[in-house]
Amino acid sequence: MVQPIMKDVLFLGQKSEEATDKDTQIIQDLKDTLEANRDRCVGMAANMIGFRKRIIIVSLGFADMIIVNPVIIQKSQPYDTEEGCLSLQGVRKTRRFRKIKVRYQDESFKDQTQEFEGHVAQIIQHECDHLEGIII
Ligand SMILES: [Zn+2]
């Protein structure tokens, strides 16, 4: 189901909780809501559609990837950039890392470890910040 985009900074400022296999409806809603906002959005965290669970969705260009309970375990090559967010007006400066390694569960709740770089790595870092209650 397509959900409205959360803009309440008090809600968005709270940390999200571990997700479990009971949260599959949130995964579906993230897919539907990203699809509905595809023209202006490349990723989303569950709290942006009202659920404080550690699930994010990231557009890889050719497909969308669901990442559950992500933990960034390595990061390298920092750089300064600017980002926008569907939950905010305008852009803000931030520091990101070109390469990251992430431990997470996939859509089937299987444990995975994967390296990401470039734009996809940047989106993941932005969405992981959301899970910590950080908005850029
Ligand atoms: Zn955002």
User: What is the distance in A from the centroid of ligand 1 to the CA of 58?
Assistant: 11
Give the whole-angstrom CA distance, residue 133 versus residue 136.
10
- To the query of whether residue 17 is one of the catalytic residues in this protein, the response is no
- pLDDT tier at 121, thresholds 50, 70, 90: very high
Over residues 20-58, the pLDDT tens digits come to 999 999 999 999 999 999 998 999 999 999 999 999 999
80: in domain? yes
2: in domain? no
User: What is the distance in A from the centroid of ligand 1 to the CA of 85?
Assistant: 4
CATH number, domain of 34, equals 3.90.45.10
115: in domain? yes
Over residues 72-84, the pLDDT tens digits come to 999 999 999 999 9
DSSP per residue over 55-118, as a string?
A: EEEEE-SSSEEEEEEEEEEEEEEEEEEEEE-TTSSSEEEEEEEEEEEEEEE-TT--EEEEEEEH
More confidently predicted of 41 and 17:
17
4: in domain? no
- pLDDT tier at 89, thresholds 50, 70, 90: confident
User: Which residues have their alpha-adjacent CB atom under 5 A from ion ligand 1?
Assistant: 85
User: What is the distance in A from the centroid of ligand 1 to the CA of 134?
Assistant: 9
Q: Is 61 exposed, middle or buried (0-12, 13-18, 19+ CB in 10 A)?
A: exposed
pTM score, whole prediction: 0.95
The strand pairing partners of 130, in sequence order, are none
Q: What is the pLDDT of residue 88?
A: 85
Q: What percent of the chain has pLDDT over 70?
A: 100
Residue 119: closest CA among 63, 67, 42, 56: 42
Give the whole-angstrom CA distance, residue 88 versus residue 104.
27
Of the residues 35, 83, 127, 132, only one is catalytic, namely 127
Looking at the chain, the number of H-run helices and the number of E-run strands are: 3, 5
- The number of folded domains in the chain is 1
78: in domain? yes
User: What is the distance in A from the centroid of ligand 1 to the CA of 12?
Assistant: 10
Q: What is the pLDDT of residue 30?
A: 98
22: in domain? yes
81: in domain? yes
Q: Which domain holds residue 47?
A: 9-131
What is the CA 93 to chain-centroid distance, rounded? 18
1: in domain? no
User: What is the distance in A from the centroid of ligand 1 to the CA of 8?
Assistant: 12
